[in-house]
Amino acid sequence: MTNTDIERYSYDVVVIGAGGAGLRAAVEAREAGFRVAIICKSLFGKAHTVMAEGGIAAAMGNVNSSDNWQVHFRDTMRGGKFINNWRMAELHAKESPERVWELEMWGALFDRTKEGKISQRNFGGHEYPRLAHVGDRTGLELIRTMQQHIVALQQKDAKEYGDAEINLKVFAEVTITDVLIENGAATGVYGYRRETGSEILFEAPAVILATGGIGKSFKVTSNSWEGTGDGHALALRAGGKLIDMEFVQFHPTGMIWPPSVRGILVTESVRGDGGILTNSEGKRFMFDYIPEIFKDKYADTAEEADRWYKDQANNRRPPELLPRDEVARAINSEVKAGRGSPHGGVYLDVSSRLPAEEIKRRLPSMWHQFKELADVDITEVPMEVGPTCHYVMGGVQVDPDTAAAVGVPGLFAAGEVAGGMHGSNRLGGNSLSDLLVFGRRAGFGAVAYLKDGSTKPKLSDAIVAKAHARLNAPFARTGGENPYTIHQELQQTTNDLVGIIRIKSELEAALVKLQEFRTRIKNVTVTGGREYNPGFHLAFDLENM
């Protein structure tokens, strides 16, 4: 393939990822007058953000007027064991309400209180009802709203210029394999179209990473197939820094049966709306796992915990609403002690807590999910749940105010791919607000970078040739390593050695295996053509994982 065979584009800003963070960044850059390309690995609208169910954490005080940004900041820091980047946590707590109101202004249809305000629900680790929600489909509504706003901007350009995509274009089903660096600064990105395998180049002085997480490195995960650590790896290869990568969150409640649906998320909203966790003996076990630091905030009897739902001012919270890491460890301990459910989890019961119609109204997705995938009616019987790899707190080290990647001018990161905001553990609901707050900040950070007056480096043919050679390497190798075999072994290794509870000997064994995988990946061979070749896709995903 020659340079003339490469599909080429030139933009001011390239956004990799079309979830909440990527779309919000794109809007910010476009509304500032710059030309923007949005690149998504799957179809537009299929980003993993749609799987976020519970809500958007924002201290609006609609349900409890005592809530404010300082309390939200404190909850976030405490949930992250105080190793969060405090400035990121501060900005997030202060700006989240404005981002929610902005979404509503753009057309988001939030659930309402009796007074007509945006409804807010309880979630683990949050002192007050704080999550603005749309039933249990909040992420889907967020993406729908952002997509409509993107289309509205395109329609405006169509009226003015006669071309809807002249200033803002979406490139679907494109995988980016390299951020192109010239003289230490970002100058564009290189990749291929997933359908045809044809190569594609985007020249741009500003690149925003919004690629999500790393869940497909694990055997049991709530993440979609896209969660292969692409942005983390792109930043690292480009000269950026990663922080806090040891902190991987296991959501306490994922589906565990049947095997085909193992890992699919069971929203924290079930517990926020009254659901309780019990073991095989019928015991509500979370009262046995309240850490000392949380004992002043969490009830130690079932009677007080149940009273809290109606009188939060005079009672402490149910321990089912402890931060996710605490609940996941408790479930893991119960299962290891032999008190688990038949399929290796515990029971999550909302059927005995709320009327059937109330469950269907508040948790429509959960009712359909269990009915269709597991033939379980959650209005009649408890669910079987267990921990599932859900979120990585670590990521690209960024400047808190501009989301600029440390060490790489012109590179920015927002959302799950960026590290620091959540410390060692993310509170539920803080992800969607994180996407909006720092997606916007990445957008205006890129705008400020483009406006700073400095001369931006130009892309050279040598850099393009290097990216082209790397993309074609798997077809030329003769090592014979199968990417599917390595991926299965990687997932089994993380499952066995890098789980919820970690010990030194297992981590050391995992490091030995990972080094072995790195060597073997260099010999991965792809057979067949470029079109519709999943082995080709996995070869590059493996390098990132």
| Residue numbers annotated as active site | 251, 271
DSSP state of 168: E
Q: What is the SS3 assignment for 31?
A: helix
What's the farthest any 2 CA atoms get from each other in the chain? Answer: 72
Show the beta-strand stretches assigned E in 294-349. 346-349
Question: Is the CB of residue 481 less than 8 Å from the CB of residue 523?
Answer: yes
Taking Cα atoms as reference points, which of 488, 280, 266 lies closest to residue 387? 266
3-state secondary structure (DSSP) of residue 15? strand
Peptide linkage before 258 cis (omega within 30 of 0): yes
Contact (CB, 8 A) for 381 and 275: no
Q: Are 388 and 223 in contact (CB under 8 A)?
A: no
* Cα gap 487→232, rounded to integer Å: 18
Residue 367 zone, left/alpha/beta (φ > 0; ψ -120 to 50; rest): alpha
Q: How far apart are CA 272 and CA 266, in angstroms?
A: 12
What distance in Å separates the CA atoms of residue 283 and residue 302, rounded to the nearest whole number? 11
Identify which of 161, 267, 193, 167 has the alpha carbon closest to the alpha carbon of residue 39.
193
DSSP 47: S
